[in-house]
Structure 1
């Protein structure tokens, strides 16, 4: 279905992604982990064609999307939606209009400039917002919503494209644990109910294990791990992150239960030293 073949990206003498190869033969949810600068975001941007590859190929079914331009490139970006850490919404625009901008690749420029959308699209946008639990916020400005709600608006905008693949670049990095879980649960439901492939860059191991069917680890631009969530042991994580024995998953957890347990343990340790 999707094949990433020896994909490489160079910025001058710096190799951001180094001969990355990844085969996705059926719809699944994939988590990509690794420390900052490992090449995760660059890899997703190349898949979406926001950034051109220096070498290698991106194949989707029988289509080579590596060097598409113009209309063909825009068609691929409609099939391969991107969700960003910073939401990329228009803050002063109402929520439903932000969602409707997911149809930009299918609408005339004049119509989109003046927010002239078919009633069928408006109803569909509201249905998607309802599915994500935020339909009541449709008439509000995007800037009036919480971070977690804004990220769900961004997911709704991606769904308006009716994509075959959803790429999420650190979708929960700026969210609190409760909103992080809500967003990840939404992405998981989209995969399971719609049969869409979801590939998400994540910064916490427990999140990757809980929500993903497959975990890919990157280090220094290379894919160094590709396996099932249960294979992602602490030892493997240390190799991916280049960490020593002091590496602790709990310190970066987004799971509320893990955070609570960590806080309790720290408090007990503090009391013991009093």
Structure 2
């Protein structure tokens, strides 16, 4: 389905994405991990055509999407929906209108300016919100919702595009563990139930292992790991992050755990170190 060949993005003499190649042969949930500046976000922006590559190819279903222009490019951006860390909602607009913005590419400026959406699309938006457990907030302003609820609105907006691929750029980075779990479960459910490819940039190893079928590790713009969750050992993670022996996964965990259990685990880790 997706074939990435020698993909490179340079900013001056610096390669943010450096000769990246990999193939995904079926819809999967992919996690991309790595330090800040590893090239994860740049890769997603290239795939969604928010920025142009310097070299290489990115083929989806046999078509190099990096060469698309005009309407073909806009159609691809509808097929390849993007979810951002900061939600990118219109704060003072009601939730259902924010979701309906996922259809902007299919309507005239007049329709979107005056919220003149077809009734069928309004019902579809509410159905999607219901699927994500937030239909009761449809009439509220987006700014009145919690961070986790706003991220689910952003997911609903992406689903309104009926995309083949969903890209999620650090979708849980600004959320507490409970909301992070809710958002990741929603993305996983979308993959499982709809058969959509989901590619998510993630910053915690436990999240990648728990929700993803395949994990790609990036360091300094290059792919340094490509494997299953089981293959992502602590030693491999140290290499991805360029960390030393003192690297601790617990420091970045989003797992919801009892406080006493966390303290006990930290004490045991300290005892082992001694």
TM-score category, normalised to shorter length? over 0.9
Aligned position for 1:249 = 249
Structure 1 residues without counterparts, runs of 5 or longer: none
RMSD across aligned positions (CA): 1.5
Structure 2 residues without counterparts, runs of 5 or longer: none
TM-score (norm: length of structure 2): 0.96
Structure 2 residue 163 is matched with structure 1 residue 192: no
Q: 1:71 to 1:175 in 2, by over 3 A?
A: same
Aligned position for 1:133 = 133
Aligned position for 2:232 = 232
Structure 2 residue 162 is matched with structure 1 residue 146: no
1:258 CA drift (Å): 7.6
Aligned position for 1:122 = 122
1:1-274 to 2 correspondences below 5 Å = 1-257=1-257, 261-266=261-266
Partner secondary structure for residue 66 of structure 1: helix
**Kept in 2: contact 1:132–1:186 (CA 8 A):** yes
1:219 CA drift (Å): 0.2
In structure 2, C-alpha distance between the alignment counterparts of 1:260 and 1:218, rounded to whole Å: 34
TM-score (norm: length of structure 1): 0.96
In structure 1, C-alpha distance between the alignment counterparts of 2:10 and 2:82, rounded to whole Å: 22
**Kept in 2: contact 1:103–1:161 (CA 8 A):** yes
Q: 1:259 to 1:32 in 2, by over 3 A?
A: farther
In structure 2, C-alpha distance between the alignment counterparts of 1:12 and 1:58, rounded to whole Å: 22
In structure 2, C-alpha distance between the alignment counterparts of 1:269 and 1:105, rounded to whole Å: 53
